[in-house]
Chain A
Amino acid sequence: MDEYQAEEETAFVVEEVSKIIKESVEAAIGGNAYQHSRVNQWSTSVVEQCLSQLSKLGKPFKYIVTCIITQKNGAGLQTASTCFWDNSSDGSCAVRWENKSMYCIVNVFGLAL
């Protein structure tokens, strides 16, 4: 029983993380249209907000958060990632968000300590 609880607290919970990501993205770029001059600041704020919310979870994890913001103009984009880690303790989550003028992809990798 104790071990189960220990696992609950130290596992990478995708639902929780994805909720955090969605909230951060909405808060940072919610109803905005793509603007080249502001995109730098937007991606920084998305990522930093995600990171600060993740650290508030208080889990023994190191986090890597990546954000891609692209203008919508019909171009194709492929993203792949591969990781060399411990499958039972580490995890990742990707969230794709879009509005009328841009796409935003956020990737979170959590590596257990």
Chain B
Amino acid sequence: MSDLLKDKSQRREKRAGKLPSEGSHGVRGKETTGKTKDSISTVSYIDELAHHDDNPRMAVTMENTYQMGPYKRIPIPAVTDILKDVLTSYLQEEEYEGEWSQKMTKTISEVIRARVKDLMIPRYKIVVLVHIGQLTGQSMQISSRCLWDAANDTFASYSFKNSSLFGVATVYAVYFE
């Protein structure tokens, strides 16, 4: 059972000005486990090293921009194309393999994030989620809900499949008020 758990590892990378985040190095993960009857739950989050060393965020008073909404919206077809392009080029003709997939998910999510940033849409925060899994006839459901401003925030996703693996990438773009 622990082998399977290791397979389902989750990595998170955040861009920080000071910290060149480098995947599994230099990242302190914190896990707590709880047991109830026949189920086990594990919590994990990456404690960004620079996070709590910063001075407590001063109540920043920004000047009014008088901007009611984003001037430029996220072009969903362009983002879907990026996802399709990246997933196909990285996963076509590949076999599922534990170690390789770990690195691949991180790489793919970084690449997608960089390309979405290149679209130069100001004031949008980006969250990229990539899942790569083995196809062994199992069933799976991936779903999400968001509490946000439906007029300004949006998402795009794409799924790819070949004979031994599947890959799903989702990008959420949230407007920063």
Contacts and interface: CB of A to CB of B under 8 A. Distances in A.
Given A75-B134, A77-B134, A80-B105, A67 B41 contact: no
B15 A87 contact: yes
B56 A67 contact: no
Q: How large is the interface on A (under 10, 10 to 19, 20 to 34, 35 or more residues)?
A: 35 or more
A87 B12 CA distance: 13
Given A71-B138, A77-B133, A97-B39, A63 B148 contact: yes
B146 A64 contact: yes
B102 interface: yes
Given A47-B144, A65-B146, A93 B59 contact: no
Contacts of A64: 127, 144, 146, 148, 172, 174
Contacts of B147: 51, 54-55, 62-63, 65
Contacts of A48: 145
Nearest to A93: B45
A78 B126 contact: no
Contacts of B125: 83-86, 90, 111
B5 A96 contact: yes
B41 A70 contact: no
A14 B31 CA distance: 11
A25 to B, nearest CB: 7
B143 to A, nearest CB: 4
B8 interface: yes
A113 B28 CA distance: 27
B120 interface: no
A111 B129 CA distance: 15
B132 A73 contact: no
Contact of B11 (A11, A80, A111): A80
Given A87-B16, A88-B51, A96-B44, A78 B105 contact: yes
Contacts of B68: none
Contact of B109 (A10, A67, A80, A113): A80
B53 to A, nearest CB: 10
A26 B126 contact: no
B142 interface: yes
Contacts of B16: 87
A110 to B, nearest CB: 10
Instruction: Give 4 nearest A-B pairs by CB, closest first.
Output: A80-B105, A99-B39, A66-B144, A76-B7
A105 B41 CA distance: 9
Contacts of B172: 64, 109
Interface in A31-85: 31, 34, 36, 39-40, 42-44, 47-48, 50-51, 54-55, 62-85
